[in-house]
Each structure stands twice: as structure tokens, then as C-alpha cells.
């Protein structure tokens, strides 16, 4: 249970990726460009790169504390989009595992 609580804390409070990290990455050869724009209280970073030889666009959504909220990859040839990370969904998934774990522990503790 402690491992799940630690995981919940990590997913909830760790920035995971920051705008500064993306600036460092854009210097790598597979990246072509990086653009930032404001989005409400946070930022959106749009990074274009080559992924498996095909052009791709990564969109990173950051909150007001520069913590990654969501990351989405779009293959620019097929227009196929994939959500790589969604903090809200990740937190919900860990919370559900905690509840399931607690329910299992409680039912195991109840004698027949």
C-alpha cells in the first residue's frame, strides 16, 4: 500500500517534464523546432521532430507551475494521435488501485 501512496504522490506532485527540459531536447538532431504559447494559466509547447523516420508533432501542456499536465503525439503523415500522458487519468488510475488494494485487504481481514 505504501508503494501505491508513494506512486500517487509522485504522479501528483512531480513535474515529470519541464519547459526547460524541452529546450535542451530541441538541440538533438531528430528535433526540428519548438514553439511555446500561453494557454490560460499555463503553457503549451509544440515540438516537431522525426519519429521512426516520419514527421511527428508533440504537444506538451503545462500548468501554472510548469508541471506537465498532458502530452500528445501526432504522426503528421497519418494524422494519428496518441495521448502519451494525462496527469488526471494517471492520478485516477493510481487512486483506483489504492481503493482496490484497500478493499482486498479489508475483505481478507474479515473472518468467514
Question: What is the per-residue pLDDT across 45-60, written as a single tens digit (0 to 9) for each?
Answer: 999 999 888 999 999 9
For residue 56, what are the β-bridge partners? 49, 75
Cβ neighbours for 15, distance < 8 A, ≥ 6 positions apart: 65, 66, 67, 68
pLDDT (average), residues 4-20: 92
**Average pLDDT value over all residues in the chain:** 91
In this prediction, residue 95 has a pLDDT band, given cuts at 50, 70 and 90, of: very high
Residue 1: pLDDT over 90 = no
CA 69 to CA 22: how far, in whole Å? 14
Burial of 46 (0-12, 13-18, 19+ CB in 10 A): middle
Question: CA-based angle 21:25:29, to the nearest 5?
Answer: 175
pLDDT for 64: 94
Q: Judge whether residue 107 has pLDDT over 80.
A: no
Residue 62: pLDDT over 80: yes
Amino acid at each position: 500500500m505504501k508503494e501505491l501512496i508513494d506512486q500517487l504522490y509522485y504522479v501528483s506532485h512531480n513535474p515529470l517534464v519541464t519547459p526547460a527540459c524541452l529546450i535542451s531536447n530541441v538541440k538533438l538532431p531528430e528535433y526540428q523546432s519548438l514553439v511555446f504559447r500561453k494557454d490560460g494559466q499555463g503553457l503549451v509547447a509544440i515540438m516537431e521532430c522525426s519519429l521512426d523516420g516520419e514527421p511527428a508533432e508533440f504537444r506538451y501542456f503545462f500548468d501554472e507551475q510548469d508541471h506537465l499536465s498532458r502530452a500528445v503525439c501526432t504522426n503528421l503523415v497519418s494524422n494519428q494521435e496518441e495521448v502519451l500522458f494525462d496527469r488526471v487519468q494517471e492520478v485516477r488510475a493510481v487512486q483506483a488501485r489504492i481503493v482496490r488494494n484497500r478493499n482486498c485487504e479489508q475483505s481478507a481481514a474479515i473472518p468467514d
